[in-house]
Amino acid sequence: MDRLHLMAVFVAVGEEESFAGGARRLGMSPPAVTRAISALETRLGVKLLQRTTRHVRVTEAGQRYLDDARRIINECDEADEAAGGINAAPRGVLTVTAPVMFGRLYVTPGIVDYLQRFPDVTVSALFLDRVVNLVEEGIDVAVRIGPLPDSSMRAIPVGKVRRVLCTSPAYLAQHGIPQTPADLARHTIVAAASVSPSVEWRFGPQDSPSTVKLKPRLTVTSNDAAIEAVRNDLGITRLMSYQIASHLVSGELKTVLADFETDPMPIHVLHRESKYGSAKVRSFIDLMVDRLRADTHLN
């Protein structure tokens, strides 16, 4: 059997965790899928899948091969597309990931613009407040906030954001403006767990930071909830600057202790290294980079 075909069958079964599911995905019969996996394991001389009566799981060797097979299939698809010419129209499925609130505020408008320009592309957007492995989860493009670890990904800088403390003008009028981080101990604190999971807030530059231990009166698990609480004059919270940009412009919220902020965090658009450039990925990256770099709230 063709080696690339065997890889594709293995990827389908491994991702579906089912021979029947892999067969449905590929439009093949279950016996044909079983034969393909058996032929691949025989060729490699290693067990790739652990079978039970209810589940199919990849082995340790199978997981490594699954990651490599995904990459190889993706590069083959991109090579086929590149052969059609640099000006080939984008088509196919594009998978994008970004943090939840950043995705809603900044990435979704770009996706809408992109889909309106390129009718032959469909987009799957995963907005998650966790780091997604692009290779393991089959992601084409990611937007990341914060320092990047060394990796094989290509990273394009598009802007910066800051951690800021904010509250409503009415709260400041009633309780006064904190002049130093230590003054926060006398204020009502709202903590957003997704941004500030502890009750210790850090201030100052990266090379000489200071921390302040605080006891929040309200702890919430979403940034939207923290914003709503301080908009209603409850207290002071700490969020990313982009999350409250519109509220600062409208005057609903004001920042405090700006002189004590930590260093800004970079924003990057990431994509997988490739010898070839997929038209759908190239065109989306070009559009998104231009949009983010042009946004005054991010630069």
Residue 284 vs residues 77, 138, 142, 145: alpha-carbon distances, Å:
17, 16, 11, 18
| Residues 134 and 272 reside in one and the same domain | yes
| Residues 149 and 272 reside in one and the same domain | yes
Strand (E) positions, 186-291? 189-192, 200-203, 210-213, 218-220, 236-240, 254-256, 265-272
Domain membership of residue 286 (yes or no) is yes
- pLDDT at residue 270 above 60? yes
Residue that is last in its domain, among 26, 49, 83 = 83
What pLDDT does residue 287 have? Answer: 97
Q: How does pLDDT run across 46-55, given as a tens digit for each residue?
A: 999 988 767 7
Q: How does pLDDT run across 230-246, given as a tens digit for each residue?
A: 999 999 999 999 999 99
Domain membership of residue 27 (yes or no) is yes
Q: How does pLDDT run across 25-74, given as a tens digit for each residue?
A: 888 998 999 999 999 889 899 999 988 767 788 999 889 898 888 888 87
Paired sense of beta strands 236-240 and 189-192, if any = parallel
Domain membership of residue 299 (yes or no) is no
What pLDDT does residue 3 have? Answer: 87
Contact 33, 19 (CB under 8 A): yes
What pLDDT does residue 72 have? Answer: 86
Coil vs helix vs strand at 48 = coil
| Residues 146 and 197 reside in one and the same domain | no
Distance CA 239, CA 231 (A): 13
What pLDDT does residue 85 have? Answer: 55
Distance CA 46, CA 243 (A): 49
105 CB contacts (<8 Å, ≥6 apart)? 242, 243
Q: How does pLDDT run across 77-117, given as a tens digit for each residue?
A: 767 766 665 556 888 899 999 999 999 999 999 999 999 99
What pLDDT does residue 199 have? Answer: 79
Backbone φ and ψ of 262, nearest 5°: -75, 170
- pLDDT at residue 198 above 70? no
Place of tokens 């059997």: 1
* Across 181-195, 214-228, 247-261, least confident range: 181-195
Q: How does pLDDT run across 142-190, given as a tens digit for each residue?
A: 999 998 876 667 899 999 999 999 999 999 999 999 999 999 999 999 9
Supply the CATH number for residue 138's domain: 3.40.190.10
What Rg do the C-alpha atoms of the chain give, in angstroms?
24
Expressed as residue numbers, the domain containing 237 is 163-260
| Residues 27 and 149 reside in one and the same domain | no
